[in-house]
Structure 1
């Protein structure tokens, strides 16, 4: 049996260490990196990290590998903290509730769709949810139905495609793919997805749609044409 430490080619090993640290949300010890890369030399791991940091400095990279709590973690340089804090705030502002996700999914797959049809599928009023999705520029009013009262029709926006990494609506996963993904995830179903009753349940749907459109800043019809 060969008791000598095993190490892959230097370039391949450095790339492997870099990939592992980029993918990890927590610091990784040299021993853990050895385990993942199937090498036995912690000294090689530390030397490789030093070499990577030297390369990053020479290239003017915005990140480094830092020793933290007995391990190593990829971090951005301190001078970028301010700009990154704005990104974090933007992400916080963009977070969607479960109700918003459900509503957005219905619109994405059934568009153009009436508010009444969305509420029939979800079983609850969704005026506030629709307003929030419009404010986040994920949905828009795409027209009016040619039925009595000409209620508004809702659809997704270009921003929706950007957020979910889609080239177009044809890239949405089909029903069978969604079922397969749900089965693979094997997540326990929530006890109830029904939301508290909307206090405006008794208000006419058409009136609520009109109020919703008036509350949203900007001309939604122009937004519809632009997207």
Structure 2
């Protein structure tokens, strides 16, 4: 009689899995259809996309998002479309739209009147010192980029610029030829609130900007 081989003996020693026992995929923790969770090294793809898109002022390309999140572009593109469809289906107050070669959050059309009312009511609130300084920089250096405003003030001014745009005091004015940075200028509403006929009636620069601004400007020129 032939003796059993080593391979046959090994197979015979491994009993089949009991009914109801977890398979290989379950044992490894991979559960099909489960929602994405935070990874040990950082947030998941969808969470990362949401976090970035919440702070951008203009559409961001899929390639750029893929580079920041260190994920393949096709995965980022698929996740963006899934998120967009989910927000629309859920009837959220915002949409995730693909516009001008990039992605950005936008207020849903049905909620536009509420946002307008909120912004209009906010016009009556007084501007902070930071907002006044930023507005003065834009008024006297327009058209000017956010980076330029931040360099003059010495602090990041992105949030303040968003407030001024929302209040209708500042608006986009094209892009800088070299850097493609968005430029900003004051609006006709700014002139109305200041009681000016045009920018030539702006008062002297010193009372509105930090004491060292003119010195900084001289060094930069």
TM interval, shorter chain, is 0.3 to 0.5
TM-score, normalised via structure 1 length: 0.38
Bigger helix share: 1
Structure with more contact order per residue of length (Cα contacts < 8 Å, sep ≥ 6): 1
